[in-house]
Structure 1
Amino acid sequence: MTTLETPAPLTTGRPGLRPPRIVASRGAPRVRRENTLPGVVVAEALGADVVAVDVRVTADGVAVLLHDETLGRMWGDGRRVAEVSWCDVARLGNGLDRIPRLDAVLERLAGCSASLVIGLADPADAEAAVRTVAAADTGSDDTVRVAWRGTVAAMTAVRSLLPDADVWLPWDTLGPPTSAQVRELRPSTLDLDVAFLIPATVRAAHTLGLCVAVWTVDDPEPTRWATRLGADLVLTEDVATVHAVLAAAERDGWSRPVREPSEAEVAGRAQTLAHRIAHEVIAFTREHRIDPDAGDAAARVAALDRSIEQHVRGRVRAVFPEHGFVGEEYGVAPGDKHRWYVDPVDGSRNLMNGVPWTSTSLCLTRSGRPLVGVVADPWRGEVLEARRGRGATERDRVLRLDDAPRPLAGAVVGTELDGTHPWPGFAAFVDALAARSCAVRIPGSGTLTIAQVAAGRGIGACMPAFDPVDHAAAVLLVHEAGGVVLTLDGPVDDFPPVGAPFLAAHPGAADELFAVWTAAVAGAEPTS
């Protein structure tokens, strides 16, 4: 039987498309405050088929609508809701914009056409939430239909308390659900971030008899794209927009736009998007800086890696839903002729040990040729970006390397190890440069080491093997800044072959540095 780990292929689109059901995420947060009774009412009035809310439990066991563990983000109170009584929670806010009890929401939706899906993050909250739903079930036709979504642990708790529950199985940051989880939870629906939506996943879910729910879809093209792939439900914070898009597509047809955007149009939009993503990643990385003395640093770095890549994929999907991906954490996602390469944290060993030298890289290619590359340095707060044929910049500074000859004496050359080992010829390379009074540095992030050449910091950098996930954006930066990229066979215009050693250099030092490097790799010291 097909499993979610080994999905069968699926072609995009299907005959006789039917619009997915619209799920209002957290009510109607574009109109009213999220997870409030007015938000639920507005979502139902706007035509949502399902209203999705988040539930937490107070210190005295009352199930209330709240997404976060604490009351700080939405209600200005930094305490954990699990430590606050219902009476104190009820005092927050003003007028109708208050935290409602779950039973009040169930009462308000009774007799309405919209059903309710309850999100749980903490399995400890499941008992109170299930008890509240059971108390509201009158057995009549007016009783609200309820489904459940959230973490695997929370859904396991719901299933144990409510054997007949309608459970959604999440595709979380650790990867796809396992066959064991499908057997144990008996879900009706696969619940996944739009970042992970691909045709094969839809086919696998449908083969297993599961519906597919996708979150969060707020824009027209991702809405049409998710529908063409066969999504059964779309979770959105903008019910009105998604409703209008689906109605128009149902009226006019689901075909793609007649005119394909030009390479220049795609590159321009992609550069703007990549720039914004880079600044978001910088803020996120600095906010989640790893304390090496806090314990389990490796697990926290891995979690940060996954969170950043998931965020990047989701942001790109919202603008370019049909583009493909290759990522450090989540591998390959098929797409059209465009493909994004993303390395969420290059220099994870540095991050794990509190060394502020890491980077995030993002590169868009079209039919294998680079279009846009961005390298984000969280610790300097810098975003180095390049667009094919348009040069490279850092903030308002144009990155441009002159053609003047540059001696190796007194210069710095960057490199990285091959994993944790020196690459072949490494010792000879260091010795040859030392004889020329040129220093070698091993900073610990290949992406950032190469990007520094484009920024004019250091005279060159050499890497043991090209990997587009790690190096594509930085290589484009060097090219667009006027630098030279070489393999052992000489200069390359786009990317080096995958796995090939390569050198990035200032044009004024490229010839001499290339001679030193190739001689060291070949095992012979070059003549002076």
Structure 2
Amino acid sequence: MTHPWFEGARTPRVLAHRGLVVAEDAAHGVEENSFAAIAAAHSAGAEYVESDCHVTADGVVVLFHDDDLSRVTGDPRLVAEITSVELAELMSGRGGLITLAQALDAFPTLRFNLDVKAAAAAVPVGRIVAPHGARVLLTSFSDQRRRAALAAAEASARGIRPATSAGSATIGRVLAALAARSDRLVRRALQGVDVLQVPERQGRLRILTPRLISAAHRHDVEVHVWTVNDPGDMRRLIGSGVDGVVTDRADVALRTLG
């Protein structure tokens, strides 16, 4: 059965990476993963937003990518060391802080692809998204964090279980199974996974191959590639059989692939 996260949306899928910040907005100080960035992606027509989850010192789950604030705000502290009120003040001139709960409530038609960035965020994320599971996909580079968030959502028993994409260890098992030419091992590695979200390459290692795409589709798993900003690359990847792209330029991708 297809998860509702996939149903009724346009294909190929365009996932707005941390929202959308065009040059004009950036010139006015708007940052990724801000309220303004999510709103811009929504206004551009994006149906999917890819974002990241950290938890603040006072236990609030916020959309924020890095462990610390230095790149986005110039403050060297960790997200986990600062309160949500303090972070809101720092983000006030940068598009505005948005919490996970606010994002789900303020944008009820958006579908979210949420990367759990910190172990402490896994359970709170799962509990918050539980009533919204039909429009949430949970992921993490850490399969342990991903599974902890899914378990928390299921334990809440407040709706449909969120969709999920594979963590690094699971992707590694899939690649090993492909190298061993074992479809049985591929099937086992993909059990419970709805999507493989991968880069084309990791260093010298090519991750995305025709065999990977074919194997994923054979087991009813989609393949999304990150982070793709060039229109030519978007067309090439979709032409190769990829189901979606994660992009900083959702506006460009929607025009290119629409």
- 8 Å Cα contact 2:173-2:189 kept in structure 1: no
**Aligned equivalents of 1:237 and 1:219: distance in 2?**
10
For residue 144 of structure 1, report the CA deviation from its aligned partner: 6.9
2:128 corresponds to which of 132, 137, 143: 132
Change in CA separation of 1:54 and 1:221 when aligned onto 2, cut-off 3 Å: same
For residue 124 of structure 1, report the CA deviation from its aligned partner: 2.5
Instruction: Please name the residue that 1:101 is paired with.
Output: 99
1:182 corresponds to which of 173, 184, 190: 190
Post-superposition Cα deviations, 1:78-137, rounded to whole Å, max 9, x if no partner, equal 111112222222221324722211111111111x2x311111122321111122223xx3
**Aligned equivalents of 2:219 and 2:134: distance in 1?**
27
Instruction: Please name the residue that 2:33 is paired with.
Output: 35
- 8 Å Cα contact 1:171-1:193 kept in structure 2: no
The residue type equivalent to 1:182 in the other structure is L
Across the two proteins, how many residue pairs are aligned to each other? 220
**Aligned equivalents of 2:114 and 2:195: distance in 1?**
14
Instruction: Please name the residue that 2:148 is paired with.
Output: 157
**Aligned equivalents of 2:100 and 2:245: distance in 1?**
23
The residue type equivalent to 1:26 in the other structure is R
Establish whether residue 166 from structure 1 lines up as the match of residue 156 from structure 2. no
For residue 171 of structure 1, report the CA deviation from its aligned partner: 4.7
Instruction: Please name the residue that 2:135 is paired with.
Output: 145
- 8 Å Cα contact 2:127-2:152 kept in structure 1: no
Instruction: Map 1:173-322 to 2 at 5 A.
Output: 175-177=172-174, 179=185, 181-183=189-191, 186-195=192-201, 196-247=207-258
**Aligned equivalents of 1:72 and 1:230: distance in 2?**
38
- What fraction of aligned residue pairs are identical, expressed as a percent? 30
Post-superposition Cα deviations, 1:38-86, rounded to whole Å, max 9, x if no partner, equal 1111101112120111110011211001100001110111111112222
**Aligned equivalents of 2:257 and 2:162: distance in 1?**
29
2:17 corresponds to which of 9, 21, 25: 25
- 8 Å Cα contact 2:129-2:153 kept in structure 1: no
Change in CA separation of 1:42 and 1:172 when aligned onto 2, cut-off 3 Å: farther
Q: Where in structure 2 are there 5+ consecutive unaligned residues?
A: 1-9, 155-160, 177-184, 202-206
**Aligned equivalents of 1:173 and 1:68: distance in 2?**
23
- 8 Å Cα contact 1:54-1:65 kept in structure 2: yes
**Aligned equivalents of 1:197 and 1:145: distance in 2?**
26
Higher strand share: 1
**Aligned equivalents of 1:52 and 1:91: distance in 2?**
24
**Aligned equivalents of 2:34 and 2:113: distance in 1?**
15
**Aligned equivalents of 1:147 and 1:237: distance in 2?**
19
**Aligned equivalents of 2:54 and 2:129: distance in 1?**
14
For residue 147 of structure 1, report the CA deviation from its aligned partner: 0.9
Change in CA separation of 1:213 and 1:62 when aligned onto 2, cut-off 3 Å: same
Q: Which structure has more RCO (C-alpha within 8 Å, separation ≥ 6)?
A: 2
**Aligned equivalents of 2:94 and 2:139: distance in 1?**
26
**Aligned equivalents of 1:158 and 1:101: distance in 2?**
17
SS of 1:92 mapped into structure 2:
helix
RMSD after superposition: 2.3
For residue 154 of structure 1, report the CA deviation from its aligned partner: 1.6
Post-superposition Cα deviations, 1:196-231, rounded to whole Å, max 9, x if no partner, equal 222111001111210111111111111111111111
SS of 2:86 mapped into structure 1:
helix
Instruction: Map 1:466-477 to 2 at 5 A.
Output: none
For residue 29 of structure 1, report the CA deviation from its aligned partner: 3.0
Q: Where in structure 1 are there 5+ consecutive unaligned residues?
A: 1-17, 248-528
**Aligned equivalents of 1:171 and 1:127: distance in 2?**
20
**Aligned equivalents of 2:42 and 2:212: distance in 1?**
30
Instruction: Please name the residue that 1:290 is paired with.
Output: none
Change in CA separation of 1:241 and 1:176 when aligned onto 2, cut-off 3 Å: farther
- 8 Å Cα contact 2:31-2:94 kept in structure 1: no
Instruction: Please name the residue that 1:92 is paired with.
Output: 90
SS of 1:54 mapped into structure 2:
strand
TM-score by length of 1: 0.39
The residue type equivalent to 2:145 in the other structure is A
Post-superposition Cα deviations, 1:162-191, rounded to whole Å, max 9, x if no partner, equal 3422111135798454755433xx011111
Instruction: Please name the residue that 1:329 is paired with.
Output: none
Instruction: Please name the residue that 2:4 is paired with.
Output: none
Post-superposition Cα deviations, 1:258-293, rounded to whole Å, max 9, x if no partner, equal xxxxxxxxxxxxxxxxxxxxxxxxxxxxxxxxxxxx
Higher helix share: 2
Greater alpha carbon shift after TM alignment, 25-34 vs 58-67: 25-34
Instruction: Please name the residue that 1:57 is paired with.
Output: 55
**Aligned equivalents of 1:222 and 1:27: distance in 2?**
20
The residue type equivalent to 1:150 in the other structure is S
The residue type equivalent to 2:122 in the other structure is A
SS of 2:129 mapped into structure 1:
helix
2:45 corresponds to which of 47, 58, 61: 47
The residue type equivalent to 1:60 in the other structure is D
Instruction: Please name the residue that 2:157 is paired with.
Output: none
